[in-house]
Structure 1
Amino acid sequence: MEFSSAGVSMETGNALLHLGRKEFQEFPFLPSGIAAGKELEAGIFPFPFPWIPADPEAMSTAGISGILGSLLQLEENFSSCLARIDALILKPLLQAEPQDPKEKENFQLLVLLNDRFQTLWNFTEENSRILRGKSQVENSGCIQDFYILWKGELFLSLYIQYFVTFANFVVVQGFEQAAKSKSEAWKLHKAVLKEFLRDFTSESSLGLALHLALHKPFQEHIQNYLRLLQQLQEQLQEGSERDVVAAVAQEFGKLESFIGQVLDEAGVTKELWKSLGYKFTDVLCVPERRLLEDSRNIPIASGTARSERLLLFDDVLVLIQGNSFQSFDLKLVWVDENCGEKSAPGLYSLRITTPEEMFVLSTKDPQMKAVWRWKLAQAVRQALNGKRDFPLWGRSGEDSQAPSRRFFTYVFRMEGRLRGATYEGEWLWGKPHGKGTLKWRDGRNHVGDFQEGLEHGFGICLVPRRSEDRYDCYKCHWYQGKMRGYGICEYGNDLVYKGYFKDNVRQGFGILENFSAEHPFKYTGQWENDRKNGYGVWEDKERGERYIGMWLDDHRHGEGIVVTQSGLCYQRTFHADKMVGSGILLLEDDSVYEGNFTEDLTFVGKGKLSLANGFVLEGTFSARGGRGLGTRGVLSTAPEPPRPPASVQLGLKEFPVEKRWTGIFEQFLEFLHSGCKEEMEESFTGFHIQTSKELRKSQEYLFCQRGAEEVSWKIEEILEELVQHQEPKALQSYLEKALESSLHPLGKLLRALTVAFQATYSGIGANRHLLAMAQEEVKFYSKKIWEFYQGLLRLALERKGRAPSEDADPSLGKGSSLVLPLILPGFYPELSMLYMLQHQREDELYCQGIVELSLFPDIQLLEFLDVQKHLWPLKDLTLTSNQRRSLIKDKCFLSATECLQKLITTVDPREKLEILRKTYEELERTVSRLLDADYRLPMDDLLPLLMFVVSRAKIQHLGAEIHLIRDLMDPTNQGGMLDFLLTALESCYEHIQRIQLHPKENSHSS
């Protein structure tokens, strides 16, 4: 252990271990880590103690060796004094152990006091032996021989421990009780004690004499040390040795002041407990507690109660009103002298803030206010530090103030929502503020951020379920005590909600999923006041059905579409979960029924059935009790061309695309309109990567992958980058990076839209009659994301005092065309599946045609397709001795074929068109090489050659690819070269479908 004072460090050696190191851990207020306990006051009484040889003149001034001899004499005399005290006072007292429980507590304090006494006595004896050894050595006399220098820390700690324990014994009136002891040994020694304690006259004065005998010798011994150190300092020249002695003398001076203050506080505190009634002392009287100030000494009052009394202790502030009192832990007391309008005229006030109460202390004298303010501030500071100053009211604490932010545990007592709850965490001016944990008696538990006493920011709340040994877990953002923003709620009944809240209820976009085996389901859509309201998608995993449509108060209500795993699909109007009116039912065989039908899809009433072969049955339908379907009506067999079943598209009129997922866009708009505040950003985007460590295991992001991202987006950085990336190339690069990040607001928005899209069209929802809805949504999403990008850019420019440049900004159409290819990968799996289902029949015919054409060798296929012979690349056909030119396959126009096959390697319509253009260029390059001249292919030559390349490329689902490109291509390409090439590819596709109509003509022998 090291003791630091004025730059001096002194090692205590092994003596501390010898004296019992664990004793020093009980005193938290010692300087530089010295352990000690709380101090107690006792009065200082001026009469002398004849057994103390305090004779300054006897100390030799002949030099350092003389001072060393004086120190030895001083220690030997003091040790003799301690021996007499031990024999005549402590031993008799310790033999009189009481039976009363209250007296037993005081007796234990006496036992502890004796332990401290014995430790000091052993310390004195050990030092005497050391000094005796030094005095026997010739030419001894250097400052290294003075143990009070190199054992200074141990010296201070032992005396502090002793006087703190002594003061504790004083406070509980231990000496008065000891004087009444019934010990026989004590009685036998009274005659001797009468000689030893000159002032002994009665039991009451005996208590006072015991008090003096156990502290006065120690005080005078320290005073002798100080005189000796002063003499030693005078003997030394200016330099480091003299500085060391001066520093140690300063610490001994502090110890002398400390002892005086401890005794004073103990005496004042003892008198207080004697004056108060048992109702107060039984609760408030603690041996370690000290009275620091009393409003009867320095008047100050709270309110208008005349019987009020304020007591400031070193750990609590007590307000007594009549026969009742309130106590406030100083660790949770804030003192503010700026009371504002609460200060009455002519009064000088202090505002006291505690976790559940706030009151004003007033006095008519500004000096009294200053004393109270200073004492309150220092007491709070020392209570928070867990130790008293050394000395207790020295200069070391005058200028330092208690911090406003604190960490503490508190149980709320008063009425209100927090009654009985325990809060452990950070505080600010009497309110939970910062990180903390709030626990209620009923098992509720909230861990997270607080602001001004309310849950605010990210938090996790556990709520026990009634009659179940399970909890609902809310991982959510909170705003002024209520859930608001994005949250994840894991209910105890296997339900999980991921979405947005407002005022503690589900509000806005959200996903509710049931993972139980009994009735698994998933709802993705709009919520209002904790109920499903608006547009949403319900997937019944048990029945294998998906409902897409409108909701009201947790019921299907309004227009809706139902798709099944078997391929059935129908559109109806619902009222409180019941189907009403007529609807449209699309059957697996491509028949279409329009009319009324039951829950089990039986035709009833008037209706119209359009069969796949073009026949139409219109009339009244009815079930015939298990004997099939009965109908009375008209069957039309007119040879009109049947309507393609795939052309029936649902939901376009019933669900306008701008009204489908309003909850997702509303969150972003709210974030944007708030000026992109940081707390709004976190509420919108989910839980940040900087979430506190203790909550990180519960951290989840809204609709994003759990992989760690290298890029950390902060809103200020986002807005700054927006301004710096307005040029076309820089803008595209920035948008790509932003949309790929699940932490960027635009990327977060895209992932939310992707989740909604997947919930609607993946799995059961992959129905070709929903293609138009899906395609419409993807285009609309690109426009909305571009709009939100522009909103962010405007905000960024406004913060810099700049206006958006109309010339620099592309138009909305061009902007959405820029965004569409960037967001398409997120929707492509579902979208391409819908295109494949939509064009399944045409693709099957196309594949049959490809199979027919693949039987042809290259030359015969070129001839069959009417390719001009001068365009045949015969010199590319290198033959071996056993080959014939007419049997060669897959050699002609190979580069163009390989180029076209790359069409399926990308999802971007722009890149697909670029591949088509390169295919055309490869064809021209091959022909130009054959003719040894530049050659531009006219349409009559291009179509047969392109047909050849398409047949050899053998691209599956080519119809789906062509229509996806056509529907999602940039409108600026319409009517241009790329549009022309796409039209040529469509012609080839359609022609190949018709080839299978003439199988005999296509059979050629090799």
Structure 2
Amino acid sequence: FSTHRVFPLTCLWVKPVTDDSSGLYAIKVTCPEESFTLVASTPQEKNKWLRSLNQAVDQVLGGGGQGSSPGVTAMSRTTSYTFTIDDRLKDAQYVGSWHAGRVHGRGTMKWPDGRTYKGNFKNGLEDGYGECLIPNRAQDKPDTYQGQWREGKIHGFGKYKYASGEVYEGCFCDGQRHGYGMLSSGKLARTSSSVFIGHWVHDKKTGYGVNDDITRGEKYMGTWLEDQRHGGAVVVTQHGLYYEGTFKENKMIGSGLLISEDDTVFHGEFSENWTISGNGVLTLANGDCLDGVFAGEWRTGLKVTGTYTKPALEESDSRERNILHLGQYVVPAAQRWTCVFGECWSRLGCDAAGRGERTTAWESIAVTITTARRQSPDLSKSQSKVLESLEFIPRYGEPVTTENYDGTRRYLTKACETPHHPLGWLVETLVTAYRMTYVGVGSNRRLLQQAVQELQAYLTHFYTIIRFLFPGLPDDGGIIPEPPNSNPSQSRRSSELEHGVVVVSSSSLLLPVLLPRLYPPLFTLYCLQKEQEEAQYWERILRLNKQPDQSLLSFLGVQEKFWPHWMSILGEKKQIVSSSKDACFVSAVETLQQISTTFTPADKLVVIQKTFEELTLEVKPFLDGDFLWCMDDLFPLFLYVVLRARIRNLGAEVSLIEDLMDPNIQHGEMGLMFTTLKACYIQIQHESTT
């Protein structure tokens, strides 16, 4: 007995061997690290041993020790054990759930070196959600990880805090960073502070990503290869420099375009970061051009051998020519965040975009929501209520009609409110990526076109996922017929047409979800782009608003038959005199001012429409009942309303609506109203104030 082993009864599983073909009367005994078989001489002896062993185990587990039914001792139990043989778990102490001799369920594993894992296990391995602490002797503090595991390795989505201070939040595969992820390095007070968000392959930055080097004041937006900047990209700096071109092994090499804050443009060859070497064309802000061979660093000075020319008088403004250069080296918007959409497809149980079973996708959603409710005790009542409502799978297989379309839209709105739903996670992640790109140093007016294209790419990719989940939806911009017995005279939304159909587009369905979250960085870019125009517009607004109402109406050419003569103040009717100011068309003015409180183009267009309606209501008492507007009468009157509304960034508002409005309503009544507002903005810029 010098090599005897002691097996604790709490970690002993005993069951009969049911295969009698061998003629042996055997009992299988399973322990955490090994198993063995006991053979009896007779069936009676086998049952006696089986009953005795199970009785002893049952008694230790607190079950009373009766053991009257052989083999009924619980296969699942909670107990502790210290491993001695398994190399991976040697000397590790485990407390938690077991099943049939294996660690299975929730538990805590502690190693002698200080490693600790607390979470779910499956068949003896970490699997599911878990939290891990890993000592780092070099830093004298531990690494920590919270997230998903599979078969003993970090796998899935999680958050890893390194002892060095770096934090990675994103996807893992077999213990390596792989897929979408964000890595934050250092802090603002340190010498090396940066944030990277983008695609990883086998623990290295590879694919599209954005790196915000906070210390240097530079932001890189482009492709990577094995942790190095490589391929087409854009770089903007805190000093207003804008570069787009090609990178190789972390350096600006090859053709590129460089624009300074004062609109000086260089288009030519680069050999190093911010170093020009080779042929190129330098265009100054006034249009003067220098074509030749350049050498030197942009910040310190350039040596040039070439030809200097001045532009002809008929050439267009240099700033407009500069803008035409932008975008030729940029990564196409549709290719920028494929890793994010790929992760969303993965969460729906699909191998790739559209490659999977729809039923499986909905089952994955249901499991995700149910798991979130059970494993998130800190949820608020409202969050729990949203998750509870999302546990019910909608009738996704039915044809989508105008009758059930609103139900689909309501479900999508709720799904996008919580990050526990794959669609909600997608929205939250896209918002993070967008803000990382276009906030801070990324607030460069030359990035506006890219920001708009990126948002439009979001809508396209997102709508593809929505159509996979709801196959009854039409193609982007398609129509949904009304049910045969519906009433076509009911009021319709702006995206609806006549003759019993509804137009469904990615913008009408998804902009209300995305744009309010993306509005601050996007609208800031519009304001920066329109800064000079807005300054001229605002100077005219301030001067023209010094005039009394009747003087301004006369100056704008508004016919006197439209001039109000009475105003209501707190229910009291008072006459408008020549010195009255801000007393005319008050309701229309206040309505138009609400355009600054809305986010989506559709909501802004509704504000414009209501402004016209208020204006019509105010002039109707002075006119015949069958009066119809003509543009000669309407435009100067609406121009007055726009002036009195004093909208601070009207140019940015107009541009945002124009870029993102639903194409299906551009040529309708709302499109005409918007065109009138745009014409007013242009007119004010060029309006003489004398």
Q: Which range, TM-score by smaller chain?
A: 0.7 to 0.9
Q: Deviations over 1:179-234 (max 9, x none)?
A: xxxxxxxxxxxxxxxxxxxxxxxxxxxxxxxxxxxxxxxxxxxxxxxxxxxxxxxx
Specify the SS of the correspondent of 1:855. coil
Q: Which residues of 2 match residues 181-220 of structure 1 at below 5 A?
A: none
- Give yes or no for contact 2:275–2:297 (8 Å, CA) kept in 1: no
Give the 3 Å change call, closer, same or farther, for CA 976–730 of structure 1 in structure 2. Answer: same
Q: Amino acid of the residue matched to residue 472 of structure 1?
A: D
The number of residue pairs the alignment matches comes to: 649
Q: Deviations over 1:358-397 (max 9, x none)?
A: 222234522222222222221221222287x5xxxxx674
**1:93 corresponding residue in structure 2:** none
- What is the CA-CA distance between 1:772 and the residue it aligns to? 1.7
- Residue of structure 2 aligned with 1:889, choices 558, 573, 581: 581
- Give yes or no for contact 2:115–2:132 (8 Å, CA) kept in 1: yes
Specify the SS of the correspondent of 1:690. helix
- What is the CA-CA distance between 1:650 and the residue it aligns to? 4.3
Q: Deviations over 1:323-342 (max 9, x none)?
A: 532222221111121455xx
- Residue of structure 2 aligned with 1:460, choices 126, 131, 134: 131
- What is the CA-CA distance between 1:357 and the residue it aligns to? 0.8
Specify the SS of the correspondent of 1:325. coil
- Give yes or no for contact 1:614–1:641 (8 Å, CA) kept in 2: no
- Residue of structure 1 aligned with 2:426, choices 749, 752, 756: 749
Q: Which residues of 2 match residues 174-323 of structure 1 at below 5 A?
A: 280=1
**2:334 corresponding residue in structure 1:** 658
Distance 1:532 1:361 in 2: 56
Q: Which has the larger radius of gyration?
A: 1
- Residue of structure 1 aligned with 2:171, choices 500, 504, 510: 500
Specify the SS of the correspondent of 1:437. strand
- What is the CA-CA distance between 1:667 and the residue it aligns to? 1.6
Alignment TM-score, normalising by the size of structure 2: 0.86
**1:472 corresponding residue in structure 2:** 143
Distance 2:446 2:67 in 1: 83
Specify the SS of the correspondent of 1:673. coil
- Residue of structure 2 aligned with 1:357, choices 34, 42, 50: 34
**2:3 corresponding residue in structure 1:** 324
- What is the CA-CA distance between 1:533 and the residue it aligns to? 0.9
- Give yes or no for contact 1:584–1:595 (8 Å, CA) kept in 2: yes
Distance 2:306 2:582 in 1: 58
- What is the CA-CA distance between 1:722 and the residue it aligns to? 5.6
- Give yes or no for contact 1:857–1:889 (8 Å, CA) kept in 2: yes
- Give yes or no for contact 1:547–1:561 (8 Å, CA) kept in 2: yes
- Residue of structure 2 aligned with 1:577, choices 235, 243, 250: 250
- What is the CA-CA distance between 1:406 and the residue it aligns to? 1.7
- Give yes or no for contact 2:230–2:248 (8 Å, CA) kept in 1: yes
- What is the CA-CA distance between 1:692 and the residue it aligns to? 7.5
**Which has the larger displacement, 362-371 or 894-903?**
362-371
**2:91 corresponding residue in structure 1:** 420
Query: Which of structure 1's runs of 4+ aligned residues deviate more than 4 A?
Result: 395-400, 597-600, 623-628, 648-653, 674-687, 721-726, 805-813, 875-878
Q: Deviations over 1:734-793 (max 9, x none)?
A: 222222223322112100110011111111111121112211222222233333233334
Give the 3 Å change call, closer, same or farther, for CA 712–957 of structure 1 in structure 2. Answer: closer
Matching of residue 909 in structure 1 with residue 580 in structure 2: no
Matching of residue 717 in structure 1 with residue 408 in structure 2: no
Give the 3 Å change call, closer, same or farther, for CA 713–519 of structure 1 in structure 2. Answer: same
Q: Amino acid of the residue matched to residue 711 of structure 1?
A: K
- Give yes or no for contact 1:766–1:833 (8 Å, CA) kept in 2: yes
Matching of residue 549 in structure 1 with residue 198 in structure 2: no
- Residue of structure 1 aligned with 2:264, choices 591, 594, 599: 591
Q: Deviations over 1:946-990 (max 9, x none)?
A: 111111111111111011111111111011111111111111111
**1:644 corresponding residue in structure 2:** 319
Q: Which residues of 2 match residues 675-754 of structure 1 at below 5 A?
A: 688-691=372-375, 709-711=383-385, 713=387, 717-720=391-394, 727-754=404-431
- Give yes or no for contact 2:253–2:271 (8 Å, CA) kept in 1: no
- Give yes or no for contact 1:896–1:920 (8 Å, CA) kept in 2: yes
Where in structure 2 are there 5+ consecutive unaligned residues? 351-358, 473-478, 484-500
Give the 3 Å change call, closer, same or farther, for CA 413–692 of structure 1 in structure 2. Answer: farther
Give the 3 Å change call, closer, same or farther, for CA 741–649 of structure 1 in structure 2. Answer: farther
RMSD across aligned C-alpha pairs, in angstroms? 3.3
- Give yes or no for contact 1:924–1:936 (8 Å, CA) kept in 2: no
Alignment TM-score, normalising by the size of structure 1: 0.60
- Give yes or no for contact 2:179–2:200 (8 Å, CA) kept in 1: yes
- What is the CA-CA distance between 1:433 and the residue it aligns to? 0.7
Distance 2:26 2:269 in 1: 81
- What is the CA-CA distance between 1:731 and the residue it aligns to? 2.5
- What is the CA-CA distance between 1:903 and the residue it aligns to? 0.9
- Residue of structure 2 aligned with 1:965, choices 657, 660, 677: 657
- Give yes or no for contact 1:411–1:423 (8 Å, CA) kept in 2: yes
Distance 1:470 1:508 in 2: 28
Distance 2:208 2:521 in 1: 20
Specify the SS of the correspondent of 1:559. strand
**1:333 corresponding residue in structure 2:** 12
Q: Amino acid of the residue matched to residue 60 of structure 2?
A: A
- Residue of structure 2 aligned with 1:525, choices 183, 191, 198: 198
Matching of residue 440 in structure 1 with residue 124 in structure 2: no
**Which has the larger displacement, 890-899 or 473-482?**
890-899
Where in structure 1 are there 5+ consecutive unaligned residues? 1-279, 281-322, 390-394, 700-705, 796-804
Matching of residue 938 in structure 1 with residue 630 in structure 2: yes
**1:374 corresponding residue in structure 2:** 51
Q: Amino acid of the residue matched to residue 843 of structure 1?
A: E
- What is the CA-CA distance between 1:711 and the residue it aligns to? 2.4
Q: Deviations over 1:934-957 (max 9, x none)?
A: 422211112111111111111111
- Give yes or no for contact 1:672–1:792 (8 Å, CA) kept in 2: no
Give the 3 Å change call, closer, same or farther, for CA 876–475 of structure 1 in structure 2. Answer: closer
Give the 3 Å change call, closer, same or farther, for CA 928–746 of structure 1 in structure 2. Answer: same
- Residue of structure 1 aligned with 2:308, choices 635, 648, 660: 635
Give the 3 Å change call, closer, same or farther, for CA 676–757 of structure 1 in structure 2. Answer: farther
Distance 1:812 1:713 in 2: 30
Distance 2:14 2:326 in 1: 69
Identity of aligned residues (%): 38
Distance 1:807 1:377 in 2: 68
Give the 3 Å change call, closer, same or farther, for CA 594–687 of structure 1 in structure 2. Answer: farther
**1:535 corresponding residue in structure 2:** 208
Give the 3 Å change call, closer, same or farther, for CA 942–711 of structure 1 in structure 2. Answer: same
Q: Amino acid of the residue matched to residue 546 of structure 1?
A: K
**2:493 corresponding residue in structure 1:** none
Distance 2:228 2:527 in 1: 33
- Residue of structure 2 aligned with 1:609, choices 265, 270, 282: 282
- Give yes or no for contact 1:821–1:909 (8 Å, CA) kept in 2: no
Structure with greater proportional helix content = 1
Distance 2:304 2:172 in 1: 52
**Which has the larger displacement, 556-565 or 807-816?**
807-816
**Which has the larger displacement, 726-735 or 955-964?**
726-735
Distance 1:917 1:444 in 2: 64
Specify the SS of the correspondent of 1:711. helix
**1:761 corresponding residue in structure 2:** 438
**1:174 corresponding residue in structure 2:** none
- Give yes or no for contact 2:585–2:615 (8 Å, CA) kept in 1: yes
